Amino acid sequence: MMQNVVNSIPTPNFEYALLSPILIMFFAACAGVLIEAFLPNEKRRLTHLLVIFTSLLLAFFAVILQSGPNGRALVASGTVALDGPGWILQGTILLIAAMSALLFAESKVDPLGDAFAARASTLPGGEEEKTVTKLGWAQTEVWPLLSFSVTGMLLFVTANDLLVMFVALEVMSLPLYLLAGLARRRRLLSQEAALKYFILGALASAILLFGSALTYAYTGSLEFGQISNGISSANNSPGLLTAAIALVAVGMLFKIGAVPFHQWVPDVYTGAPTPVTSFMAGAVKVAAFGGLLRIFYVAFGSLVWDWRPLIWVVAGLTMVVGSVIALSQSDFKRMLAYSSISNGGFILVGFSGTNRAAIAAVLIYLITYAFATVGAFALITLIREQAGESATLIRWKGLGKKSPLAAGLMSLFMLSFAGVPLTSGFTAKFGVFTAAIAGGATPLVLIGVLASVIAAVFYIRVIILMFFSDPIPEGPFVVVPSVFTTIAISASTVVTIILGLFPQIVIDLVSSASVFLR
């Protein structure tokens, strides 16, 4: 009898080679923990840097090597789908993570050290904090946390099973909650942000899990392909399925920061250390949209007409509310947070397109937006005052006269966010709008165009402020970063320009790989 039960559980079959990007990042994270445990304090930073960049590089090469036609398969007993979009998302996440990691590693711009608190456990503003800061301690746990989060993302965008997806979501999110609370400056704000993020994230996870349970109740399966089959064959109450879709969607839309589940975004983006914010705005956004694409187009693909009205409403609300509130922001980081929300809305517009075109358009938007946003946040870390980063917009007056290069690059990213032609942002917006029109969502596109007009106001206001006002006395100064930040900013600049001038490169790449496996 006992023997029987054991036999009835199938032995999971792992295709280690195909799963290697995920595994590499997982081992890197474990190695990070061991380094924390066994290496002396002064050797940790360098070792961590070696481990993280080597593993990110290796994982990226693993993605490139395996993403060919032979690398498209359902693996790990059908719980992980390695398909075109999956590989592209994994590759993008690894690149964005590498750029964020470069920002994590920067320790030149702040005279006190890197962007993280010397000891997270010390009381903000207390004596102990001053002592450890003076001693030059560093909270090197950020590195394994980052690796764990990347591991979770890589799994999340390829998960083909609601339960695996949920686990991946938690592996990706839990380190983020911690990272958000580790800022060196304005620590109370940072800790408050972390706690908010955690509580609301837990709430959203619970909703997602509830939705997954309802899905299982209706279809009898957690695997996307079988959910899709189950929907057409099962004859349970349709209300059950509708609620399931809505709840799963909410769980995802929370991570994306779609209205009305967006309110954590400004607080968390502002409070978190800027390198972490760049990671959240870049990589997390890519991962969350990747997951949403897969759920909606694979698991619920046959119910397009049920979930599309939902996406329409949420997309319209997100674009308009995000852009409108951004108008009255006085803090640059907060403005970018709202910009991130409204961009999420634009990406959702792509979901109203037909299958293949929509997937390609969304992927292109994700790639271009992620690179530009990391660049913008990287620039924030350089514009400083005595007390840390200077994010109060009004104080940026005349920055273009003091540092034309920094202000010029910032303007480039602003123009890209605004979707001005010849920047990557135009390529992206053009793509989702075209896809949506082809999918019959012209009214939504009209709302989108109006929202971009509103959004252009606050992006261009930054440029006007920097270039067409006189500098204020004792205003912020621009520091010269070390090679880490320089690489990150250069990379995002190059990508933003190249994808604006030669969009065909990414369009070809993505269009050839925009079919999900099921």
- Which residues are CB-contacts of 495 (< 8 A; sequence separation ≥ 6)? 368, 371, 372, 424
Query: CB of residue 308 vs other proteins: minimum separation in angstroms?
Result: 11
What is the 3 state secondary structure string of 80-113?
A: EEECHHHHHHHHHHHHHHHHHHHHHHCCCCCCCC
Binders of other proteins among residues 443 to 462 (CB under 8 A) are 454, 457
Q: In the numeric block, which tokens belong to residue 433?
A: 């709008």
Q: Which is nearer to other proteins, 47 or 434 (CB)?
A: 434
Question: Any contact of residue 440 with other proteins (CB under 8 A)?
Answer: no
Paired strand residues for 392 = 331
Query: CB of residue 500 vs other proteins: minimum separation in angstroms?
Result: 12
- Segment near other proteins (CB under 8 A); pick from 41-49, 109-117, 193-201, 274-282: 193-201
Query: CB of residue 436 vs other proteins: minimum separation in angstroms?
Result: 13
Q: What distance, in Å, lies between the first and last C-alpha atoms of the chain?
A: 35
* 3-state SS, residue 183: strand
Question: Any contact of residue 309 with other proteins (CB under 8 A)?
Answer: yes
State whether the Cα torsion 257-263-264-269 is positive or negative. positive
User: Which residue among 133, 226, 242, 482 contacts other proteins (CB under 8 A)?
Assistant: 242
Count of C-beta atoms within a 10 Å radius of residue 212: 22
Binders of other proteins among residues 203 to 232 (CB under 8 A) are 203-204, 207
Query: CB of residue 456 vs other proteins: minimum separation in angstroms?
Result: 12
Question: Any contact of residue 260 with other proteins (CB under 8 A)?
Answer: yes
Query: CB of residue 498 vs other proteins: minimum separation in angstroms?
Result: 12
Sheet holding 477-478, edge to edge: 388-389, 383-385, 477-478
User: Which residue among 50, 57, 199, 494 contacts other proteins (CB under 8 A)?
Assistant: 199
Are the CB atoms for 90 and 80 separated by under 8 Å? no
User: Which residue among 63, 153, 209, 250 contacts other proteins (CB under 8 A)?
Assistant: 250
Q: Which is nearer to other proteins, 87 or 261 (CB)?
A: 261
Q: Which is nearer to other proteins, 136 or 309 (CB)?
A: 309
Query: CB of residue 323 vs other proteins: minimum separation in angstroms?
Result: 9
Binders of other proteins among residues 491 to 510 (CB under 8 A) are 502, 504
Query: CB of residue 260 vs other proteins: minimum separation in angstroms?
Result: 4
**C-alpha to C-alpha distance for 278 and 196, rounded to whole angstroms:** 18
**C-alpha to C-alpha distance for 421 and 350, rounded to whole angstroms:** 19
- Segment near other proteins (CB under 8 A); pick from 32-40, 149-157, 220-228, 261-269: 261-269
- Segment near other proteins (CB under 8 A); pick from 2-10, 171-179, 255-263, 369-377: 255-263
Question: Any contact of residue 247 with other proteins (CB under 8 A)?
Answer: yes
Query: CB of residue 259 vs other proteins: minimum separation in angstroms?
Result: 8
Cα 147 versus chain centre, distance: 14
**C-alpha to C-alpha distance for 105 and 123, rounded to whole angstroms:** 24
**C-alpha to C-alpha distance for 96 and 48, rounded to whole angstroms:** 18
In the shown chain, the binding pattern of residues 322 to 341 toward other proteins, with x for contact by CB under 8 A and - for none, equals --xxxxxx------------
Instruction: Identify the residue whose tokens are 């964005």.
Output: 96
User: Which residue among 243, 420, 497, 515 contacts other proteins (CB under 8 A)?
Assistant: 243
CB-neighbour burial class of residue 194 (10 A; exposed 0-12, middle 13-18, buried 19+): buried
Question: Any contact of residue 246 with other proteins (CB under 8 A)?
Answer: yes
- Which residues are CB-contacts of 398 (< 8 A; sequence separation ≥ 6)? 466, 469, 470, 471, 472, 475
Are the CB atoms for 381 and 115 separated by under 8 Å? yes
Amino acid at 454: I
Peptide bond into 275 cis (omega under 30): no
Query: CB of residue 312 vs other proteins: minimum separation in angstroms?
Result: 11
| Interacting residues with other proteins (CB under 8 A) | 195-196, 199-200, 203-204, 207, 238-239, 242-243, 245-247, 249-250, 254, 260-261, 263-264, 266-267, 306, 309-310, 313-314, 321, 324-329, 434, 454, 457, 502, 504
